[in-house]
Homo-oligomer: A and B are copies of this chain.
Amino acid sequence: MVDTLLIPGPIVMSANVQKALGSPSVAHTSPEFVAVISRVLQNTRKVFKADSKKGQPYVLAGSGTFGWDIAASNLIHPSEKALVLSTGFFCDSFAECLKLYGADVDKLDAPVGGVVDSAEIESQLRKHNYRMITITQVDTSTAVLMDVKRIADVVHRVSPETLIVVDGVCSIGCEEFEFDKWGIDYALTASQKALGAPPGLSVSMISQRALEFALNPETPTRSFFGSLKRWTPVMQGYESGKGAYFATPAVQLVNSLDVALEEILQDTLEKRWEQHKKTSDWLKSKLTDELNLKSVSEPQVSANGLTAVYVDEPPKVTSYLKQNGVVIAGGIHREIGPKYIRVGHMGVSAIDSKLDHIPRVYDLIKQAVH
């Protein structure tokens, strides 16, 4: 019997997504595979709500982290300034990545569990010329949800030249996200989060103006495997139905992502976001109201794809759940790491009402903390 996986990614896959994974070898340039990845790229536009403008999607072999490298090595020159809004561990790591590639990084840190104040962002944007601002829509370490639309509006008003980069790793597919409408320049996620596919693919989307910046011969690309100059014609070839080559894609993972995206698009994204919110609200209210556990994220800025709550003895709780066949995660945070637990509720676990994953995890946490 396999444990029920309720960490904030990888998540439980649907039966059909899992089945597509075990597909036999096909050539990465075959008409069969090109048809699949073409559809995956088109559906990536839809899931990112990026199908009204002329952006470009990328589906590449790699972890979610690789998306940071792509942004840091293609979308900013060394020594140019980047503003990182930090609500936790993953925001801070993105800042480290930007620094490694030579960016001059300023970071605005939110208090633990809270968000960065909009007025502070506006004031900071007025101080310097920033090439890039990074917004982690949901930091998986704290379950804090940033208001990307509101921040993007501030950037467009105060510093319209600044490229808006969104880490959507724990949000795209379960939180409201509008790439085109909100005027996002680069957004990245990973296959194993709210998209519901297995881990191993970096999935991202770039705006036309950011792509022009990346493809400009004067922009010094600082990654080979992550070079948008090299990948863009390949992705464009694939999407238009032509075999193309730079590096071999992870064929079976792409097959699996194909099924996952098709499943997501069987209904509206708005409904999917609403279902995640409903599941999240239910679990959060049960944990905080009935068990009196304190949420790490402040209630009005809490993510809908995971829940982080303080408990007295996190290892005791996670062990108890594991013994009962449910896997949740411990904390990952510089200041509060050992003090809390994280429960993921994305994909089928959140939206398939035939599954009892979330009531079950609640019951087990209740037993564990009492």
A27 contacts which chain B residues (CB < 8 A)? 3, 5, 7, 10, 327, 329
Min CB distance, A72 to chain B, in Å? Answer: 7
* Chain B residue with Cβ nearest A11: B25
Complex contact A251–B18 (CB within 8 A):
no
Complex contact B327–A30 (CB within 8 A):
yes
With A223-B69, A224-B97 given, is the CB distance from A199 to B250 under 8 Å? yes
Q: How far is the CA of A23 from the CA of B253 in the complex (A)?
A: 12
The residues in A between 220 and 266 inclusive whose CB is less than 8 angstroms from any CB of B are 221-227, 245-253
State whether the Cβ of A12 lies closer than 8 Å to any Cβ in chain B: yes
* Chain B residue with Cβ nearest A3: B26
Min CB distance, A353 to chain B, in Å? Answer: 20
Specify which of B13, B18, B65 is in contact with A224 (CB 8 Å cutoff).
Answer: B65
* Chain B residue with Cβ nearest A22: B22
Complex contact A227–B22 (CB within 8 A):
no
Q: Could you give 27 example pairs across A and B, Cβ below 8 Å? A: A2-B26, A5-B25, A5-B26, A5-B27, A9-B248, A10-B26, A12-B25, A18-B22, A18-B24, A19-B22, A25-B192, A27-B327, A61-B63, A62-B225, A63-B249, A65-B225, A66-B247, A100-B221, A100-B223, A101-B222, A190-B248, A192-B248, A198-B252, A199-B251, A200-B200, A200-B251, A250-B250
Complex contact B224–A63 (CB within 8 A):
no
State whether the Cβ of A149 lies closer than 8 Å to any Cβ in chain B: no
| Chain A, interface SS category | loop
* Chain B residue with Cβ nearest A66: B225
A72 contacts which chain B residues (CB < 8 A)? 224
The residues in A between 275 and 305 inclusive whose CB is less than 8 angstroms from any CB of B are none
Query: Chain A contact residues (Cβ within 8 angstroms of B): what range?
Result: 35 or more
State whether the Cβ of A274 lies closer than 8 Å to any Cβ in chain B: no
A5 contacts which chain B residues (CB < 8 A)? 24-27
Q: How far is the CA of A327 from the CA of B34 in the complex (A)?
A: 15
Q: How far is the CA of A30 from the CA of B254 in the complex (A)?
A: 24
Q: How far is the CA of A346 from the CA of B9 in the complex (A)?
A: 35
Having A10-B28, A200-B249, one finds 10 other A-B pairs with CB under 8 Å, namely A3-B27, A3-B30, A18-B22, A18-B24, A27-B329, A63-B225, A63-B249, A65-B246, A72-B224, A252-B253
* Chain B residue with Cβ nearest A72: B224
Complex contact A63–B100 (CB within 8 A):
no
How many copies make up the complex?
2
State whether the Cβ of A88 lies closer than 8 Å to any Cβ in chain B: no
A7 contacts which chain B residues (CB < 8 A)? 27
Q: How far is the CA of A12 from the CA of B27 in the complex (A)?
A: 10
* Chain B residue with Cβ nearest A21: B22
State whether the Cβ of A68 lies closer than 8 Å to any Cβ in chain B: yes
A332 contacts which chain B residues (CB < 8 A)? 245
Q: How far is the CA of A83 from the CA of B226 in the complex (A)?
A: 23
A30 contacts which chain B residues (CB < 8 A)? 3, 327
Q: Which of A18, A27, A68, A329 has the most CB of B within 10 A?
A: A27
State whether the Cβ of A64 lies closer than 8 Å to any Cβ in chain B: yes
A190 contacts which chain B residues (CB < 8 A)? 248
Contact with B along A96-137 (1 / 0, CB 8 A): 110011000000000000000000000000000000000000
Q: How far is the CA of A101 from the CA of B18 in the complex (A)?
A: 38
